[in-house]
Amino acid sequence: MTEQATTGPRTVVVTGAGRGLGLAMARRAGADGFRVVVAEVDADRGARAAEGLRTEGIDAHCVPCDVADPQSVARLAARVAELGPLYGLVNNAALANGVGGKEFQDIDVATWDRLMAVNARGPWLVAKALHPLFGPVGRIVNIASDAALYGSPRLAHYIASKGAVIALTRAMARELGERGITVNALAPGLTECEATEAVPAERHGVYAANRAIPRPQQPEDLVGLAAFLLSEESRYLTGQVIAVNGGFTMN
Ligand SMILES: NC(=O)c1ccc[n+]([C@@H]2O[C@H](COP(=O)([O-])OP(=O)(O)OC[C@H]3O[C@@H](n4cnc5c(N)ncnc54)[C@H](O)[C@@H]3O)[C@@H](O)[C@H]2O)c1
C-alpha cells in the first residue's frame, strides 16, 4: 500500500458524489475546508462534479470507482492514500434512481443481487479498504434512507439494503470506537433531486401529507447534519441513525 502522507488538509471521501445528495454533501465538506474526493462510478459525471467544485475554490479530486467492485475500491484506497490523511468517509453511492415500483414477490433475483451489491456491500467494501488510512480521529457517515424506517411499499430490495446499512453502522461503530472513529447513519427523506424526478406523485403525496414541516425536502436540507457528523463536535455520537425528513418519521 502507498505510504500515507501526514501533512496537508484532511480528506473526506464521498462516494457517488457526481450529483444529487452526494454532491451537495461534498460541496459542504469542501466549504468546511476539507479536501474532497468524489468517488463515482460514472467517470464523466464525477469529473464534471469535481471540476465544478474546484471552480468554487474547493480542493476536489475525482476518482472513478465502482463501490461494488473490490478491485475498483482497492484502486480508490491507493489513490486516497497518496492524497494525504483520511479523516472522513461518506458512504453515499447507491442505486436509488428508478428502483421502485414492484411488489417484493415480483423483484427478480438479479435485480435484488445487484442492488445489494452496490447499496449494502458497497459501503462495507469501501470502509474495509479505507479504514487503515484513518488517522487518530475519523468520521464515517453512511447514507441510509427513511424508507427503511417507514417501510415504504414496492421498494423491498432497496429497503432491505438500507436496513443493512443501518445494521452495518452499528457493527462498525462498536468496532471502530476505540480508534476514535465514529460511525453514524443519516437517513434522508424523499428529496427533490434528479433521482426522484420519476418517483410517482402518489409517493410524493404520502410525504407531503405526513411531514411535520410541510414543504418539499431539498438536498441542502441534509448538509447541515452531514457537516455536523463530519465535525469534531460530533465526537461522542456514534452508532446512531438520524432521519432528516421534516418529521416524516419520528423515533
Ligand atoms: N434522493 C432521495 O430522495 C433519497 C432519499 C433517501 C435516501 N437517499 C440516498 O441518498 C444517496 C444519494 O441519493 P441520490 O438521490 O443523490 O441518488 P443519485 O442517483 O442522484 O446519485 C447517486 C450517485 O451514485 C453513483 N453511483 C451509483 N452506483 C455507484 C457505484 N456502484 N459506485 C459508485 N458510485 C455509484 C451514481 O452514478 C450517482 O452519481 C443514496 O444512498 C440514496 O439511497 C436518497
Residue 3, domain member (yes or no): no
Note down the domain range covering 16: 11-243
| Residue 251 binned pLDDT confidence (cut-offs 50, 70, 90) | confident
Is residue 5 domain-resident?
no
Question: Is any atom of ligand 1 closer than 6 Å to the C-beta of 157?
Answer: no
**22 CB within 6 A, ligand 1:** yes
Is residue 28 a part of any domain in this protein?
Answer: yes
Across residues 36-54, what is the average pLDDT? Answer: 98
Handedness of CA 202, 205, 210, 212 (dihedral sign): positive
Å from CA of 162 to ligand 1 middle: 12
Euclidean distance between CA atoms 66 and 41, whole angstroms? 5
Among 21, 69, 211, 245, which is best to mutate for testing ligand 1, by the most ligand atoms less than 8 A from CB? 21
Compute, in angstroms, the gap from residue 237 CA to the centroid of ligand 1.
Answer: 25
Tell me, what's the pLDDT at 8? 73
Does ligand 1 lie within 6 Å of residue 16's CB atom? yes
The atom number, within ligand 1, closest to the CA of 143 reads 41
What is the per-residue pLDDT for 84? 83
Q: Determine whether the shortest distance from the Cβ of 219 to ligand 1 is under 6 A.
A: no
72 alpha carbon to ligand 1 midpoint, in Å? 18
Phi/psi at 236 (5° precision): -105, 15
User: Is residue 96 lining ligand 1, measured as CB closer than 6 Å?
Assistant: yes
Looking at the domain assignment, is residue 2 inside a domain? no
Best residue among 92, 115, 141 to mutate for probing ligand 1's pocket (most ligand atoms within 8 Å of CB) is 92
What pLDDT is attached to residue 7?
59
Can you tell me the distance from the alpha carbon of 51 to that of 198, in angstroms, rounded to the nearest whole number?
27
- Tell which residue, 90, 116, 95, has the closest CA to residue 38: 90
Cα of 138 vs centre of ligand 1, distance in Å, is 23
Q: Is 236 a catalytic site residue?
A: no
Give me the mean pLDDT over the 184-201 stretch. Answer: 94
Question: Which residues are CB-neighbours of 70 under 8 A, at least 6 positions away?
Answer: 125, 129
The reply to whether 248 falls in a domain is: no
Give 56-72 pLDDT, tens digit per residue: 999 999 999 999 999 99
For residue 115, being part of any structural domain is answered with: yes
Q: Using the atom order of ligand 1, give the atom closest to the CA of residue 162.
A: 43
For the Cβ of 115 lying below 6 angstroms from any atom of ligand 1, the answer is: no
- 19 CA: nearest ligand 1 atom: 39
State what percent of residues in the chain have pLDDT above 70: 97
Residue 39 lies in a domain: yes
Cβ(142)–Cβ(182) below 8 Å:
no
Q: Dihedrals φ, ψ of 91, to 5°?
A: -85, 85
Question: What is the total count of domains within the chain?
Answer: 1
Average pLDDT on 198-223 reads: 95
- Atom number, ligand 1, closest to the C-alpha of residue 191: 3
Query: Are 80 and 130 spatial neighbours (Cβ–Cβ below 8 Å)?
Result: yes
Let me know if residue 94 belongs to a domain: yes
pTM score, whole prediction? 0.97
CATH number of the domain encompassing residue 140:
3.40.50.720
